[in-house]
Amino acid sequence: MDERRHIAIFTTASLPWMTGTAVNPLFRAAYLAKDGERIVTLVIPWLSLKDQKLVYPNNITFSSPPEQETYIRHWLHERTGFESDFSLLFYPGKFSLDKRSILAVGDISEVIPDEKADIAILEEPEHLTWYHHGKRWKIKFALVIGIVHTNYLAYVRREKNGRMQAFLLKYLNNWVVGIYCHKVIRLSAATQEYPQSIICNVHGVNPKFLEIGKKKLEQQQNGNQAFSKGAYYIGKMVWSKGYKELLNLLRDHQKELAGLEVDLYGSGEDSDQVHEAAEKLELAVRVHPGRDHADFEFHDYKVFLNPSTTDVVCTTTAEALAMGKIVVCANHPSNEFFKQFPSCRTYDNSDEFVKLTQQALAEQPAQLTDAQRHELSWEAATERFLRAAELEQSLTRKLSKAPSKNFMSTSLNLRSNMDSASAYVHLAASGFEVTRKFFGAIPRSLQPDEEQCKELGLAMPAGKRGSGK
């Protein structure tokens, strides 16, 4: 009898959308399954063609889930170099234009059969449970682990009525995450606090970046010039991703930074405004379209400037360190993990930013040790996750504390009532204009429509198809 734990990883995005919740859960699935000690399933959203055209870059679309799975597995193999032994399943999703994110449709926990429901990992548990319509996660799965990726409160505070929205969002997040998760892992202290949560960076970097860093180290050891370019930044080109902070710093210190050249790479809704702001500076700030950070274009840059404070753990900062670069970033909880690396320089104010940037351009990056390089890897991230999740301990506790039938019945009823109250909160929240952006009723979100049922091989919903009623 196969006694391996069954782990189902549910996430809110999928390739080719190059967002953190598409990439990081994919690597997590690959590395959790690598040693064969666990049975792993990655569960990702399937979008109908009209939504794919809105979300996926470079006009990439798929006519069927198997076609998208082939694309995803090829992309992953190119980066890891090994065949990944995990299953890939799809749940129906819809893209919300106003939220710029994918929302689950119906009860996505049904993707995993009850007899295989053991451990669930919810990547972005708030996002996955804001509109959850179905079976209680804690009842279906023996252990539910939420991994908090996003600092939603920081984004909301930047919007109209931001303080009120953030206040309501904080308490609703606490409510749904507490109800649906046994354990919560926060990637950094930059996320909102949750009861009984722990802080642990359980993300690693694409192995390609570590390979680039090793080549740069060899160049340095051979006495060759490893870095021929100066400073750059890469990120989605929206103001909230650090562009406003960086351009303000450059604008306010143009005299001290005279001669500095900076290249900005990214694509996004604020690209035109970023272009305009950069052109007004006396410094040479060039703006380029977004591209893969592993691209050869970035190998020779020496200094990565990242003033963003909305990230939880910035993936591009980890990638830059892995490539052997010097990183100048804000002294912020999101960057706490990176302080262990000698090439990470943090600043508390604009004067320190100028000083550290000048020093970084004049120096050579410190060489990473093997141990430091390992800390950035997905192997180390997986080790940290297994320790933080305490999977084996949770199984032991569960078996040693098997409750009586009467107690179990009472416990399940209590949880059922709490979850029913949670559903009521979701519906009540839709009546408030200030929270409608996050918690309002989503048209046709209760059931997948006819097209998605055909694409995913699901049974057609009873009654009015796709009505969501």
Token pair of 272 as six digits: 């035109």
Distance in angstroms (rounded) separating the CA atoms of residues 328 and 357 = 7
- Across 129-143, 227-241, 271-285, least confident range: 129-143
What's the CA gap between 129 and 148, in Å, rounded?
Answer: 12
Q: Are 159 and 425 in contact (CB under 8 A)?
A: no
pTM of the model: 0.84
- Structural contact between residues 340 and 357, judged by C-beta atoms closer than 8 angstroms: no
Residue 101 in tokens: 């994110």
Residue type (1 letter), 365: P
Q: Which pLDDT score, from 0 to 100, does residue 161 have? A: 77
Tell whether the model's pLDDT for residue 56 goes beyond 80: yes
CA 185 – CA 202 distance, rounded (Å): 8
Average confidence (pLDDT) over 236-245 = 90
- Residue 148: phi and psi, rounded to 5, are -85, 115
Identify the pLDDT of residue 392.
63
Decide if pLDDT at 201 tops 50: yes
Rounded Cα distance between 230 and 253, Å, is 17
Q: What was the pLDDT predicted at 427?
A: 36
Are 308 and 275 spatial neighbours (Cβ–Cβ below 8 Å)?
Answer: no
pLDDT given for residue 156 in this prediction: 73
The predicted pLDDT at position 446 comes to 62
What are the structure tokens assigned to 308, written together? 């963003």
- Tell me how far apart the alpha carbons of residues 466 and 445 are, in angstroms, rounded to a whole number: 8
The reported pLDDT for the residue numbered 286 is 96
Q: What pLDDT, in 10s, does the model give residues 318-328?
A: 999 999 999 99
| DSSP label at residue 446 | S
Among candidate residues 449, 423, 426, 446, the one with its CA nearest the CA of residue 436: 426
**Predicted local confidence at residue 269, as pLDDT:** 84
Task: Check residue 160 and give its pLDDT.
Answer: 75
